[in-house]
């Protein structure tokens, strides 16, 4: 008695649940401290103390009817202004209040944009490997997801492949920068290629192609690397952001859409997004948390801790002989399976009580995703298990990486 | 460059915005204290002090990574258990943790259920007059809203009209009890009639018809009247609730779905709802607020204040000769227009600086909705303006009502 789409989703879901339950069963059998769970993208570092201070400040200084009440569907004007100013100071943009819509996380923002843009049958392009939920978001509105592989060496966007995938029905392209699952930051050069390809193809098909840039990992960039700000490179860009990672607030569902005035049909698209926010049942981003993030725009969780995890894991696994993509951002490491069928690799890892996710869950078999948003201690404790796993494949150790 | 559906929604939206801006313009011209705005369903009473205490208690006693972190898409197990226990103690139900899904308000919960249940072209029945957003929620998933008028004298559900409207494509019925815009509470008798009609028609069409009972106004019931608990009357009932009204937290977007184990295909429907909550981009109900409402299940805003507003407004407007439906619940009064075209009545009221909403916005012309979730002082100050309005129609005053 559920819809056909939900029947399909339920089948996928039971696979995920089975993996999760298997992890729980291992923890029950061997003790949770002996199971090395790298499967979840769930921040394992606390929010900065400033979050608690901000909540108490809001409660102590602002009227409770205002703090917990309705506001415009787009969010409190002062919060949107503060977010705009912060972006302007960081990226040289000139956003005002009307360019920011507060959303129920980035997932909410992406659904709002797809509801706004897609007629049934319209196409959205994603670059594999990618966060599979994108396909579900597009299908919510009867859109069609088209997958364009990234360069299999660098996992950077391939502009020619993108240009070839555009059709008359292409309405949007979604990118995730830094990327889940690869940890790659798309470079200025790759994004300039994307912009040139889309400008050419937009002109040819006779309507704009919007890029939705999903950036919950923006602040998680290492070695001084910068994540390019795409609205400066490609005019028809809309940014979806969430404080889930940068402030470790994933449960609070607080994010924004930045919609530059320069995009084609700005009025229609931004008004549409505000309406979609309402009719999809979000109505508005949670009110207290809007007022909290406004006070925490300069704050962040301990990014150094993620950087240390990343260096430790990359170095040690590379030394053991695993072929790892060096992560520049996010909290994921993308590792080549030592055997063609990465699901078999995942199964062998599980025998060593190590859990991670097969690449086929990101439309890219032959690799696995290791999430290092975990305690540094767990990484250290897991290394002997990784060493046994490497030994099973006879991997060649390296002295330096 | 927005979808056809959004183009349609934007046209509706500009009508609402025009009304809102007209109100603002009047306030600018005559002073906000001289404009009597009864148009918005926005609670004008503060949340109970217990809400602030609960927030601080959560922050002081629980781990911040737990409080602001991810949990199951259905919500924290202890919160769901507490909500279930509370419902059991009030309504004699036997809900457990698995019967409750925490949602982003009732609007989020309703969208989750429509996503779960509707294939394109499936029909949902609503009783007019009704909250127009229901049509948008149904159309989000390419469903078709069918409207069945209530009894034009009592505004109660007409079971025969309901039975006649059911077709092979009917998947769900949505009711709102107490009702926006009429303030009517659907009686035990009316709901028993609904149950009998749906049981008969479900058997005839060969599949279950689920009732979604949208109950954000449940606690706002006056004169000791009770809002019947529908799962005890009709087995295939799913309840959508929000704390927006009872705790005056409309901006926080916190509510739940209660899905009884007794409904047909419980496992499929409840798992489907959990998945829909995720893929629609809600992911989970805001985490801190989940932990707050768990501590405030016995609390409520000042319902006595709403009751006093309702008695004052009903008595005084009836004395002036207006034909009002006596509200049993919610914070709306449903008033017959003294002329056939209620939009002309709304326009004349505006000349007296009184704002309310035409019944055609609820698919029921000839009436208007007066929202009394306002300050008692504003009601008192508005009475001379209502008296002038009554005089323009030559209404006959009454001594008693």
Residues A28 and A65 in one domain: no
Phi and psi torsions of A72, nearest 5°: -55, 145
Q: What is the pLDDT of residues A140-181, one digit of tens each?
A: 999 999 999 999 999 999 999 999 999 999 999 999 999 999
Residues B26 and B121 in one domain: no
Last residue of a domain, one of A252, A274, A295: A295
pLDDT score at A59: 98
Q: How confident is the model at residue B35 (pLDDT cuts 50, 70, 90)?
A: very high
**How many domains are there within chain B?**
2
Q: Under a CB-based contact definition with an 8 Å cutoff, are residues A150 and A128 in contact? A: yes
| Mean pLDDT score of chain A | 96
**Contact with chain A for residue B16, Cβ under 8 A:** no
More confidently predicted of A243 and A401: A243
Task: Find the CATH number of the domain harbouring A261.
Answer: 3.40.640.10
Interchain proximity B69–A248, CB inside 8 Å:
yes
Q: What is the pLDDT of residues B120-129, one digit of tens each?
A: 999 999 999 9
Angle between helix axes B266-279 and A133-140 (nearest 10 degrees) is: 100
Question: Does the pLDDT of residue A20 top 80, yes or no?
Answer: no
Q: Is A399 within a domain?
A: no
Indicate if the alpha-carbon torsion angle A24, A28, A29, A33 is positive or negative.
Answer: positive
- Measured CA to CA, the distance from residue A256 to residue A108 in angstroms comes to 9
* Among candidate residues B136, B213, B205, B129, the one with its CA nearest the CA of residue B170: B205
Q: How confident is the model at residue B321 (pLDDT cuts 50, 70, 90)?
A: very high
Q: Which of A7-16, A221-230, B14-23 has the highest mean pLDDT?
A: A221-230
Q: What is the pLDDT of residues A201-232, one digit of tens each?
A: 999 999 999 999 999 999 999 999 999 999 99
pLDDT score at B260: 98
- Measured CA to CA, the distance from residue B210 to residue B264 in angstroms comes to 9
pLDDT score at B44: 83
* Among candidate residues A4, A44, A23, A3, the one with its CA nearest the CA of residue A378: A44
Residues B69 and B170 in one domain: yes
Residues B224 and B161 in one domain: yes
Residues B274 and B286 in one domain: yes
pLDDT score at B40: 85
- Measured CA to CA, the distance from residue B63 to residue B346 in angstroms comes to 53
Partner residue opposite A64 with nearest CB, options B42, B52, B108: B52
Q: Is B398 within a domain?
A: no
Question: Does the pLDDT of residue B17 top 80, yes or no?
Answer: no
Mean pLDDT of the region B190-194 = 98
Residues A94 and A241 in one domain: yes
Residues A277 and A311 in one domain: no
3-state helix, strand and coil shares in percent for chain A, rounded to the nearest 5: 45, 15, 40
pLDDT score at A353: 96
Residue ranges making up the domain that contains B354 = 4-47+301-392
Indicate if the alpha-carbon torsion angle A110, A112, A117, A123 is positive or negative.
Answer: positive
Mean pLDDT of the region B84-110 = 98
Interface subset of A 136-195, CB within 8 angstroms of B? 136-137, 140-142
pLDDT score at B299: 96
pLDDT score at A17: 74
Distance from CA of B226 to the nearest CA of A (A): 27
Q: Is A312 within a domain?
A: yes
Tokens standing for A286? 């949670």
Q: Is B401 within a domain?
A: no
Phi and psi torsions of B24, nearest 5°: -60, -40
Q: What percent of chain A has pLDDT over 90?
A: 92
Can you give the C-alpha Rg of chain A in angstroms? Answer: 22
Question: Does the pLDDT of residue A99 top 80, yes or no?
Answer: yes
Question: Does the pLDDT of residue A363 top 90, yes or no?
Answer: yes
Question: In A, which residues are within 8 Å of B112 by CB distance?
Answer: 281
pTM above 0.95, yes or no: yes
pLDDT score at A23: 83
pLDDT score at A22: 83
Q: Judging by beta carbons within 10 Å of its beta carbon (0-12, 13-18, 19+), is residue A16 exposed, middle or buried?
A: middle
Q: How confident is the model at residue A19 (pLDDT cuts 50, 70, 90)?
A: confident
pLDDT score at B16: 73
Least confident segment among A37-46, B185-194, B259-268: A37-46
pLDDT score at A21: 81
Interface subset of B 232-251, CB within 8 angstroms of A? 248-251
Q: How confident is the model at residue A367 (pLDDT cuts 50, 70, 90)?
A: very high
Q: Is A65 within a domain?
A: yes
Q: How confident is the model at residue A14 (pLDDT cuts 50, 70, 90)?
A: confident
Q: Is B141 within a domain?
A: yes
Q: Is A397 within a domain?
A: no
Last residue of a domain, one of A280, A295, A310: A295
Residues A250 and A349 in one domain: no
Question: In A, which residues are within 8 Å of B287 by CB distance?
Answer: 251-253
| Mean pLDDT score of chain B | 96
**Which residue of chain B has the CA closest to A74?**
B251
Question: Does the pLDDT of residue A45 top 90, yes or no?
Answer: no
pLDDT score at B388: 98
Residues A290 and A356 in one domain: no
Tokens standing for B192? 């028993």
Residues B143 and B273 in one domain: yes
- Measured CA to CA, the distance from residue A18 to residue A27 in angstroms comes to 14
DSSP state of A177: S
The residues that bridge with B355 in the sheet, in sequence order, are: B37
Mean pLDDT of the region B69-86 = 96
- Measured CA to CA, the distance from residue A288 to residue B55 in angstroms comes to 11
Q: What percent of chain B has pLDDT over 70?
A: 100
Task: Find the CATH number of the domain harbouring A320.
Answer: 3.90.1150.10
Interchain proximity B117–A288, CB inside 8 Å:
no
pLDDT score at A121: 96
Distance from CA of B57 to the nearest CA of A (A): 11
Residues A84 and A196 in one domain: yes
Residue B399's contacts (CB-CB under 8 Å, 6 or more residues apart) are: B319
**Contact with chain B for residue A128, Cβ under 8 A:** no
Question: Does the pLDDT of residue B131 top 90, yes or no?
Answer: yes
DSSP alpha helix (H) spans, A228-351: 266-279, 287-295, 303-319, 342-351
- Measured CA to CA, the distance from residue A16 to residue A101 in angstroms comes to 32
Last residue of a domain, one of A268, A295, A322: A295
Residues B131 and B268 in one domain: yes
Q: Which residue has the tokens 């009209």?
A: B161
Question: In A, which residues are within 8 Å of B282 by CB distance?
Answer: 104, 107-108, 253, 281-282
- Strands A354-355, A36-37: pairing is parallel
Distance from CA of B287 to the nearest CA of A (A): 5
**Contact with chain A for residue B10, Cβ under 8 A:** yes
Q: Is B386 within a domain?
A: yes
Q: How confident is the model at residue A329 (pLDDT cuts 50, 70, 90)?
A: very high
Which one of A208, A241, A279, A331 would you mutate to disrupt binding with B, by most B Cβ within 10 Å of its Cβ? A279
């Amino acid at each position: 008695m559920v819809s056909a789409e939900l029947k399909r989703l339920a089948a996928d879901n039971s696979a995920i649940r089975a993996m999760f339950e298997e992890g729980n069963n291992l923890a029950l059998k061997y003790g949770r401290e002996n199971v090395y769970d790298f499967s979840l993208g769930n921040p394992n570092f606390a929010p900065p103390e400033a979050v608690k201070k901000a909540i108490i400040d809001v409660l102590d200084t602002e009227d409770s009817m205002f703090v917990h009440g309705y506001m415009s569907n787009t969010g409190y004007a002062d919060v949107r202004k503060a977010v705009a100013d912060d972006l302007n100071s960081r990226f040289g943009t000139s956003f005002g209040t009307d360019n920011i819509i507060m959303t129920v996380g980035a997932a909410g923002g992406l659904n709002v944009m797809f509801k706004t843009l897609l007629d049934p049958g319209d196409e959205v392009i994603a670059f594999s490997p990618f966060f599979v939920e994108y396909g579900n978001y597009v299908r919510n509105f009867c859109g069609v997801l088209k997958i364009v592989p990234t360069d299999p060496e660098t996992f950077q966007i391939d502009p020619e492949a993108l240009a070839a995938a555009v059709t008359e029905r292409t309405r949007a392209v979604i990118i995730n920068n830094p990327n889940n699952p690869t940890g790659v930051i798309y470079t200025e050069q790759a994004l300039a290629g994307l912009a040139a390809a889309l400008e050419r193809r937009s002109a040819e098909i006779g309507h704009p192609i919007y890029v939705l840039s999903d950036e919950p990992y923006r602040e998680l960039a290492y070695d001084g690397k910068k994540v390019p700000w795409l609205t400066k490179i490609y005019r028809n860009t809309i940014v979806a952001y969430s404080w889930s990672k940068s402030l470790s607030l994933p449960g609070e569902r607080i994010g924004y859409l930045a919609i530059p005035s320069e995009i084609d049909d700005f009025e229609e698209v931004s008004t549409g997004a505000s309406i979609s926010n309402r009719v999809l049942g979000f109505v508005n981003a949670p009110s207290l948390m809007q007022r909290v993030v406004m006070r925490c725009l300069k704050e962040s969780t301990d990014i150094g801790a993620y950087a240390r995890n990343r260096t430790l894991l990359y170095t040690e696994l590379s030394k053991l002989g695993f072929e790892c993509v060096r992560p520049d951002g996010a909290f994921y490491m993308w590792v080549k399976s030592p055997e063609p069928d990465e699901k078999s690799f995942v199964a062998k890892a599980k025998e060593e009580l190590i859990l991670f996710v097969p690449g086929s869950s990101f439309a890219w078999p032959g690799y696995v995703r290791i999430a290092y948003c975990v305690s540094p201690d767990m990484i250290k404790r897991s290394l002997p298990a990784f060493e046994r796993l490497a030994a099973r494949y006879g991997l060649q150790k390296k002295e330096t990486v």
